[in-house]
Amino acid sequence: MWKIGTVPVENRIIAAPLAGISNPVYRLENRRAGAGLTVSEMISDKALHYRNQRTFDMCAVLEEEHPVSLQLFGGDPETMAEAAEYLSEHTACDVIDINMGCPVPKVLKAHAGCYLLAHPELAVSIARAVVNHTDRPVTVKMRAGWDQSSINAPELARALEDAGISAIAVHGRTRSMLYQGKCNHEWIRMVKEAVRIPVIGNGDLKSPEDVDRMYEDTGCDAVMIGRGLMGRPYLIQELTAHEKGEPYALPSYEERIELCRGFGDRLCAYEGEHTGISMLRGQACAYFEGMPYAAVLRGKLSMMNTRDEFHELLDEYRDTIGK
């Protein structure tokens, strides 16, 4: 057990925010699998300011998923403070996270995400504004710097700690690297050595061995796993067993099919069939990585249109690999 501010977190595994994916249904899958904390996809401060209903819906928190963090992005201290007040007054979130790590152009144009790494004074002003307008612990998810010639994460982390930030997650890449190359553990270690608050290591974590190396190389307090959990919420259970030195049997092919079926049904129930199936076209494929004839199934899943068709494809696939 450890804490982010005053919020107890039962273990050191955090489900990272994934844009367009980390809705309450996805988060709850990971929470039920044992994640100590889950984080929402990015929520725009400006969209909350202009009272966008879809963005209000993104702030929903299910009763069973606590503790949960809602992640904000924006480049204006005033509207970020307003957004923090909204989340504090109108949602049941336990933590508020500030995105300083998204590298995509749309977010950079909003002076948010990685833009703030190149403008540390603005980053600290935003952090201080959010901290001062909420009673929830505030965290930051960031990258190591804008590029390899400007690794400023340790200095920025110290300033964010002074501004009242309760924990920092560091992705061991720069903005210029996007998602290419390898996660640099040394950059995360530098942040860990620079601050007293918890530091969370993030990047390229897909196995117990990856997590072991992250802890050994960085000394971080916890890990944050993103795409490594897509279609594999059971990775959390594998990591928990590994840390305890206990054996763990990976789910069978049949069990993986049923995990996907259950997730799809819950997603359609929450989002509505049309939206749920649209989201499933991309997400369902991850459940079958490494399984026989998975490429054929992925092609069919990418074109499905109804929940009944989704079930038919899974039944057909189950029968095929069972032969």
d(CA 171, CA 101): 8
d(CA 168, CA 41): 17
- Reference 166, options 198, 119, 144; nearest CA is 198
DSSP result, 21-90: T-SHHHHHHHHHTT-SEEEEEEEEHHHHHTT-HHHHHHT---GGG-SEEEEEE-S-HHHHHHHHHHHHHH
d(CA 34, CA 32): 5
The CA-based angle 44-235-290, given to 5 degrees, is: 100
Given 102, 183, 220, 268, the catalytic residue: 102
**Residue 102 annotated in active site:** yes
d(CA 135, CA 149): 37
Residues that are catalytic: 102
